[in-house]
Amino acid sequence: QYTPSRSPLNVPLVMVIPSPGGCARVCCCNETGMLERLPRCGKAFATMMRKVDVWKWCNLSEFMVYYERFTNCTEVETIIVGCYWPNPLAQSFITGIHRQFFSNCTRNRGHWEDPPDEVLIPLIAVPVLLTVVMAGLVVWRSRRTDRLL
């Protein structure tokens, strides 16, 4: 007779398999869970930043590793609760953290005129743009196929 879940490892494996409809993540995205988990990433990032001298806060290369770890953390936690990453909620959270730490970099430091763009465009906008471009490509290709057929 079939015995389900012989080992506890079977459980996460089963949960990772997408449903046949392919909507496993969209339909089960738990935004409450995401809003609970993201602040943990923010806290970890704040702890890291405390080790960096405040006057270096506008120099991205000084804390790039921490920032990447932070973005990765938001990605991991977002996917754990079944949501796509990036998504608007996660982005507004990241932007808030960004504002909290780097709002003073905008005017006071000459060498970093526009920190939101410097940091956010490579790390957030590019994946978003890629998503948009990919979606556009799919539409465009299917349209083109329609016409060719």
Ligand X SMILES: *[C@@H]1O[C@H](CO)[C@@H](O)[C@H](O)[C@H]1NC(C)=O
Q: Residue from 25, 59, 87, 116 that binds ligand X (CB under 6 A)?
A: 59
Question: Which range, of 28-36, 88-96, 125-133, 138-146, touches ligand X by CB under 6 A?
Answer: 28-36
Question: Which range, of 55-63, 87-95, 122-130, 133-141, touches ligand X by CB under 6 A?
Answer: 55-63
Q: Per CB under 6 A, does 67 bind ligand X?
A: no
Tokens of 21: 């409809």
Helices (H) and strands (E) in the chain, counts: 7, 0
| Residue (of 21, 41, 38, 20) closest to 30 by Cα position | 38
Q: Residue from 67, 70, 93, 101 that binds ligand X (CB under 6 A)?
A: 101
Q: Per CB under 6 A, does 51 bind ligand X?
A: no
Q: Residue from 5, 19, 47, 72 that binds ligand X (CB under 6 A)?
A: 72
Please say whether the beta carbons of 30 and 82 come within 8 A: yes
| Residue (of 83, 94, 103) closest to 125 by Cα position | 94
For Cα atoms 1, 13, 73, give the angle at the middle one, nearest 5 degrees: 160
Q: Per CB under 6 A, does 47 bind ligand X?
A: no
- Binding site residues, ligand X, CB under 6 A: 30, 32-33, 36, 59, 61-62, 72, 76, 101, 103-104, 111
